[in-house]
């Protein structure tokens, strides 16, 4: 270490601090080539007033659990092939009740192909596949209300 | 009464509406952008729906997304708060077509009052005093000169579609009228896509005094006293009080009754505010806001009414639960808008609130959605809370305000709290002697301090 | 008015007094034990003095230390809050000798009302209804039997020097009187060093209703309505409301005027509370508290008065600033005592507050000295805050209370907040149908839940 | 440590402390070449409502700065030989105005010997030396108001 302050990369620490703030992590530890840096922050986030005493409604439209959905589905949401909802509405798998679904688990899809319909304000909005691939996961149910940005499907 | 209300807003007003709903036993749906997923009212709501990305145009102003959110949650009414879609006649219209109640006046009343020229004509027709000026738009230079001479200099040229100070020019005398007209038209075109302007008397040292009115759409209407919102910076209100230190009881009664009568005649429904400039004992209509105001809590403090609960009741079809005789004014109230801004430069200061302690005790109300650990997003306005203080008289109110501001701790961001502590040291503020230019002058004179 | 007031207390009431002083422009001195060096009111006070170690007997009850703190700071008055030295006649006397004002009644009035037997005699003399019972102490078994027969069974045997339920025994009939007397005497001796007891009628299902009175020591006195404090656990009030759901306006006026008249006759000075048991339309004097009560904010909410400011004014020699005709009651208020206790077992829960978010909005007042990061010391009582909610009627008040409790977040320690949320679900609470035994029964019946 | 502890770079610690403050972190740990530095800060303490907006009175009786005194004088207060005030009052160094002080800097004292008087409620309370030794430091001034537990003197 000597007295050479240059051997201490202060910039690295600041960058780690930024990552910490951005990601909401509470601790980062990095070790490489004999250098080890650890930064931590006390979790003020847990002070947020969780609605602990408020009884949530019985979710008649299944929208109530939605706030947790993004967190629960986070791994899926962050996966490369995730298709997210571009709007609020009700997701439908087929063009009309009883007809065949646009896609199924394992279907091969082309970019631009309709994979789902989202109904909003009595309008049927076709949701195109953003890229070609195989339908690996379907993350919503037929007839389920979806929020903006909610993961719908994984196509890889 | 409604079963489930969707709150089409964010921040402290969304929380305000949520509280009123909860106290009436109404279920709540919070809609929010991706930037507001951790907002207090979202956490507290019975249900929440993410309606779009951070830009308001794609979320809080996104009518299809909000209507779709009503559909998937089964909300039977929408409270629009203030700003965003609260004065959007089309939104009110679309909700009506979808058989969803809009907590506000009729689309027609919103439309009339949203057009400055039509609003002024309507006010005049209803007996509300207006500032002398052109009856309609002014386009040519010759016409402008003629109108200005009739109105009397100094005159103000304003964009018909305007707001927030854009498209406004003063001409002190005839030499300045041509330039002022051209500039105002150009600015109006640039800001609002419409170069229509009109001319009115320019008032040198007016106060901004507004009358809170409330109607049930069935011919009943009352006034709930006035608010003095003269302390403004860049046409943004900073400090509001009720009642105004400038009015006496007779003046209050006269202008109040005029406004209430006008609203009864109009069959206006819900909360509304008729804004006036006040100078030398005369009121001059500026505009009418057909919605709840940011500063409504000072009126609640002196009347004991819950204006949001009343909005919900009237929107659900109830008649006014009180008459003018039931309204009495108790004591004095002041609201300070706590903004996430540098108190000297007014540069916005979004970021994480790392420490928070809000004042409490007798006569102190805080309306705020922030909490320790909350990150104030950079996408929206900088209002993060309102401190409302009530006292038996204005002096007690000022003393209590100073006490409460001294207890307020918000760490991690800049706020305007220090500004209010400075204001409380000014003799003009203590005496209630200020007009709409006072704050700008004060800030200019104290910039170096 | 005073220049500088020393606050001889701690916790939320010290902060309450500090706020009133600040709003009157009076400087404040906080005295504190070593355990309270970081308390909110100590941080906010103009000056602070450490007066002793954690045990109250060596700090908050240490008269020489408190008088010395007055001397070194030059305080010209002492506000004692409640508890500690607030009803200590000797303390009031010593302050008088040192020419320091005591914010409270005269030492003589404190002394009279501090002795249960003399208090009762005085009350009877002043026309205040008392519970039938022995005129003075009862010592022998024969005397006890005779008195009990006159009073009528069931009877209660109480320690003359008692309080907090110690030295109290019920005899349902003559068979039980001997044992009850002996037990009460033994407990009284052990708890208070004095085995004097007295006998009175035992009321089966009374409510605890107390009248807030206020005098100026110059012959003027008013009543400020009643508080219903029937919801108690181990003789500790848990929930207080004003006005009482059990009284009508005529009853209120009658008992109120009786009390006000008595206080005027006594030339009582400052705030006082005359506590009654109330059953079947009859009031029975229990005791008079010659100080501010914990639950004074509910009275402030319905009257609009600041009782601590009034205490300071009267102590400084002013006459009452209002007459009975000026007092009107608006709406309904409820106070919940937030204790750092397990809400099921009531085991105290001192420790660090790691997260805190207090409710806000219309009609909500929080009086609390805790803050994020504050450590609640284990040496004192468990009251850490009071939530006071005001509404236009009792129903609005209950709805608002539920809303506010739902927003309250205190992390790191147990609190009684969940208890209040459970209470709000009980039909008896919603209907206001409860007596002083209701809560104990409820807790017993729901212990397993 | 391997290296001479004098090569300890205090400047590095100060820099890390600064980064801590700037970034809002609560902990940083750096390890390199056998040197390990960890800096930490308790965050919750800073959330306490510091009376930042309240103008403190001009401390006529010198009691106002007292709340900070215990912290500032902490090293003295914790020293083995510290004599703390057993009461609130006004400290006097001599039995009467103008007379010789009980002790001075450098005085040898016996246990029980009066070293100061504290006046409270018009009573002069003699403060005895708790142990024998030399007066190393006098921490209050003659005529100064003192709080309970306030360090008065160091006798070693």
DSSP letters spanning B10-28 = -HHHHHHHHHHHHHTT-EE
> Is the CB of residue D44 less than 8 Å away from at least one CB of chain A?
yes
The model's pTM: 0.83
Nearest Cα to Cα of residue C337 among C245, C238, C439: C238
Residues C401 and C362 sit within 8 Å (Cβ to Cβ): no
Query: How many A×C Cβ pairs under 8 Å?
Result: 24
State how far residue A86 is from chain C, nearest Cα, in angstroms.
33
Segment B242-258 mean pLDDT: 97
Q: Residue C189: exposed, middle, or buried by beta-carbon count in 10 A (0-12, 13-18, 19+)?
A: middle
The pLDDT value recorded for residue A22 is 65
Residues B343 and B419 sit within 8 Å (Cβ to Cβ): yes
- Tens of pLDDT along chain A (156 residues) come to 444 444 466 777 777 777 776 665 667 777 777 778 887 765 443 333 333 333 333 333 333 333 333 333 334 455 779 999 999 999 999 998 889 999 999 999 999 999 999 998 888 899 999 999 999 999 999 999 999 999 999 999
Is there a contact between D32 and A2 if contact means CB atoms under 8 Å apart?
A: no
Residues C392 and B304 sit within 8 Å (Cβ to Cβ): yes
The pLDDT value recorded for residue C52 is 95
State how far residue A1 is from chain D, nearest Cα, in angstroms.
6
Nearest Cα to Cα of residue C134 among C114, C148, C124: C148
Residues of C with Cβ-Cβ distance to A54 under 8 angstroms? 406
> Is the CB of residue A14 less than 8 Å away from at least one CB of chain D?
yes
Rg of the Cα trace of chain B? 22
Tell me how far apart the alpha carbons of residues B200 and B208 are, in angstroms, rounded to a whole number.
Answer: 16
Q: Is C291 a catalytic residue?
A: yes
Torsion angle defined by CA atoms of residues C315, C316, C322 and C327, in that order, rounded to the nearest 10 degrees: -40
C51: nearest CA partner in chain D: D148
Is there a contact between B411 and D53 if contact means CB atoms under 8 Å apart?
A: no
Q: What would the pLDDT profile of A99-121 be if each residue is shown by its tens digit?
A: 999 999 999 999 999 999 999 88
Tell me how far apart the alpha carbons of residues B429 and A145 are, in angstroms, rounded to a whole number.
Answer: 53
Which chains share 3+ C-beta pairs under 8 angstroms with C?
A, B, D
> Can you give the residue ranges of every domain in chain A?
1-45, 68-155
Query: Measuring CA to CA, how many Å separate B262 from each of A126, B104, B165, B225, C321?
Result: 50, 17, 27, 15, 41
The pLDDT value recorded for residue B297 is 98
Element at C254 (helix H, strand E): helix C249-266
B362: nearest CA partner in chain C: C365
Segment B337-355 mean pLDDT: 94
State how far residue C363 is from chain B, nearest Cα, in angstroms.
8
Q: Phi/psi zone of residue C186: left (φ > 0), alpha (ψ -120 to 50 degrees), beta? A: alpha
Residue ranges of D 5-64 with Cβ closer than 8 A to chain B: 24, 43, 46-54
DSSP letters spanning C60-125 = TT-HHHHHHHHHHHT--EEE--SSTTTT-HHHHHHHHHTT-EESSS-HHHHHHHHSHHHHHHHHHH
State how far residue B407 is from chain D, nearest Cα, in angstroms.
7
Residue D76 pLDDT more than 50? Answer: no
The pLDDT value recorded for residue D40 is 75
Can you read off the two tokens belonging to residue A107? 């279907």
C330: nearest CA partner in chain B: B304
The pLDDT value recorded for residue C117 is 83
Residue ranges of C 328-367 with Cβ closer than 8 A to chain D: 352, 354
Residue D57 pLDDT more than 90? Answer: no
Q: Where does A41-104 have alpha helices with state H? A: 69-72, 74-78
The pLDDT value recorded for residue A52 is 35
Catalytic residue among C111, C291, C337, C365: C291
Query: Measuring CA to CA, how many Å separate C186 from each of B85, B122, C118, C140, C191?
Result: 74, 84, 22, 13, 9
Residues of C with Cβ-Cβ distance to A47 under 8 angstroms? 354-357, 372, 409, 411
Can you read off the two tokens belonging to residue B275? 């804004």
User: What class, spelled out in words, does domain A68-155 have in CATH?
Assistant: mainly beta
Can you read off the two tokens belonging to residue A60? 């008649």
Is there a contact between B372 and A121 if contact means CB atoms under 8 Å apart?
A: no
Residue ranges of D 114-143 with Cβ closer than 8 A to chain A: none
Q: What are the φ and ψ backbone dihedral angles of B442, each rounded to 5 degrees? A: -60, -45
Is there a contact between C403 and B19 if contact means CB atoms under 8 Å apart?
A: yes
Residue D107 pLDDT more than 80? Answer: yes
Can you read off the two tokens belonging to residue C5? 């007031």
Is there a contact between A41 and D32 if contact means CB atoms under 8 Å apart?
A: no
HEC string of C258-273 equals: HHHHHHHHHCCEEEEE
Q: What would the pLDDT profile of B164-192 be if each residue is shown by its tens digit?
A: 667 788 999 999 999 999 998 888 888 88
User: With bands split at pLDDT 50, 70 and 90, how would you rate the model's confidence at D103?
Assistant: very high
Which chains share 3+ C-beta pairs under 8 angstroms with A?
B, C, D
Tell me how far apart the alpha carbons of residues B252 and B226 are, in angstroms, rounded to a whole number.
Answer: 7
How many residues are recorded in chain C?
Answer: 449
Segment B291-305 mean pLDDT: 97
Residues A150 and A140 sit within 8 Å (Cβ to Cβ): yes
CB atoms within 10 A of CB C328: 11
User: With bands split at pLDDT 50, 70 and 90, how would you rate the model's confidence at D24?
Assistant: low
Is there a contact between D43 and B357 if contact means CB atoms under 8 Å apart?
A: no
Rounded to the nearest 10 degrees, the angle between the axes of helix C63-73 and helix C89-97 is: 30
Is there a contact between A14 and D23 if contact means CB atoms under 8 Å apart?
A: yes
- Tens of pLDDT along chain C (449 residues) come to 999 999 999 999 999 999 999 999 999 999 999 999 999 999 999 999 999 999 999 999 999 999 999 999 999 999 999 999 999 999 999 999 999 999 999 999 999 999 988 998 999 999 999 988 887 788 888 999 999 998 889 899 988 876 666 778 899 999 999 999 999 888 888 888 888 888 988 888 999 999 999 999 999 999 999 999 999 999 899 999 999 999 999 999 999 999 999 999 999 999 999 999 999 899 999 999 999 999 999 999 999 999 999 999 999 999 999 999 999 999 999 999 999 999 999 999 999 999 999 999 999 999 999 999 999 999 999 999 999 999 999 999 999 999 999 999 999 999 999 999 999 999 999 999 999 999 999 999 987 55
CB atoms within 10 A of CB B14: 27
Is there a contact between C355 and A51 if contact means CB atoms under 8 Å apart?
A: no
Cis bond upstream, residue B243 (ω within 30): yes
Residues of B annotated catalytic, as ranges:
291
Angle at the Cα of C160 (from C156 to C164), degrees rounded to 5? 75
Q: Percentage of chain B surpassing pLDDT 90?
A: 86
Nearest to A121 among B52, B68, B374 (CB): B68
């Amino acid at each position: 270490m000597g007295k050479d302050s240059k051997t201490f990369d202060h910039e690295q620490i600041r960058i780690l601090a930024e990552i910490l703030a951005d990601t909401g992590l509470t601790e980062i530890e990095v070790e490489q080539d004999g250098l080890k840096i650890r930064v931590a922050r006390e979790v003020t986030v847990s002070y947020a007033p969780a609605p602990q005493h408020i009884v949530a409604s019985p979710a008649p439209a299944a929208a109530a659990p939605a706030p947790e959905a993004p967190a629960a589905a986070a791994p899926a949401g962050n996966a490369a092939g995730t298709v997210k909802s571009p709007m609020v509405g009700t997701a439908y798998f087929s063009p009309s009740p009883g007809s065949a679904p646009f896609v199924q688990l394992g279907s091969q899809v082309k970019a631009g192909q309709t994979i789902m319909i989202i109904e909003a304000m009595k309008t049927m909005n076709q949701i195109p596949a953003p890229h070609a691939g195989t339908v690996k996961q379907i993350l919503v149910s037929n007839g389920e209300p979806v929020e903006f940005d909610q993961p719908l499907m994984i196509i890889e | 009464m409604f079963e489930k209300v969707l709150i089409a807003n964010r921040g402290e007003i969304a929380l305000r509406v949520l509280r009123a709903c909860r106290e009436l036993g109404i279920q709540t749906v919070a809609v929010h952008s991706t930037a507001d997923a951790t907002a207090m009212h979202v956490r507290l709501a019975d249900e929440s729906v993410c309606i779009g990305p951070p830009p308001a145009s794609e979320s809080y102003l996104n009518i299809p997304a909000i209507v779709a959110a009503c559909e998937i949650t089964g909300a039977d009414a929408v409270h629009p708060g203030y700003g965003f879609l609260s004065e959007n006649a089309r939104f009110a219209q679309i909700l009506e077509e979808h058989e969803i109640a809009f907590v506000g006046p009729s689309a027609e009343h919103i439309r009339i009052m949203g057009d400055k020229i039509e609003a002024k004509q309507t006010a005049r027709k209803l007996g509300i005093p207006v500032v002398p000026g052109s009856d309609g738009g002014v386009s040519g230079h010759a016409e402008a000169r003629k109108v200005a001479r009739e109105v009397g200099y100094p005159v103000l040229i304003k964009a018909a579609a305007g707001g927030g100070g854009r498209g406004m020019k003063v001409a002190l005398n005839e030499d300045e009228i041509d330039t002022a007209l051209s500039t105002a038209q150009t600015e109006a075109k640039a800001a609002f896509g419409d170069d229509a302007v009109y001319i009115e008397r320019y008032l040198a040292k007016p106060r901004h005094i507004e009358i809170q009115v409330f109607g049930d759409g069935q011919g009943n209407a009352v006034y709930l006293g006035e608010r003095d919102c003269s302390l403004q910076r860049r046409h943004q209100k900073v400090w509001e009080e009720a009642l105004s230190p400038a009015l006496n009881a007779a003046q209050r009664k006269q202008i109040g009754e005029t406004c209430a009568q006008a609203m009864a005649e109009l069959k206006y429904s819900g909360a509304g505010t008729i804004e006036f400039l006040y100078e030398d004992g005369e009121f001059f209509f500026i505009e009418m806001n057909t919605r709840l105001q940011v500063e409504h809590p000072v009126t609640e403090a002196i009347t004991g009414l819950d204006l949001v609960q009343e909005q919900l009741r009237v929107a659900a079809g109830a008649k006014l639960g009180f008459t003018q005789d039931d309204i009495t004014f108790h004591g004095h109230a002041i609201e300070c808008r706590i903004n996430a801004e540098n108190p000297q430069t007014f540069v916005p200061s979004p970021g994480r609130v790392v420490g928070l302690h809000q004042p409490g005790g007798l006569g102190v109300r805080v309306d705020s959605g922030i909490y320790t650990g909350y990150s104030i997003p950079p996408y929206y306005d900088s209002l993060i809370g309102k401190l409302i203080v009530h006292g038996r008289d204005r002096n007690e109110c000022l003393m209590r305000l100073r006490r409460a501001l001294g207890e307020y701790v918000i760490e991690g961001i800049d706020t305007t709290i220090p500004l209010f502590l400075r204001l409380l040291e000014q003799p003009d503020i203590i005496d209630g002697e200020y007009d709409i230019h006072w704050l700008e002058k004060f800030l200019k004179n104290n910039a170096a301090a």
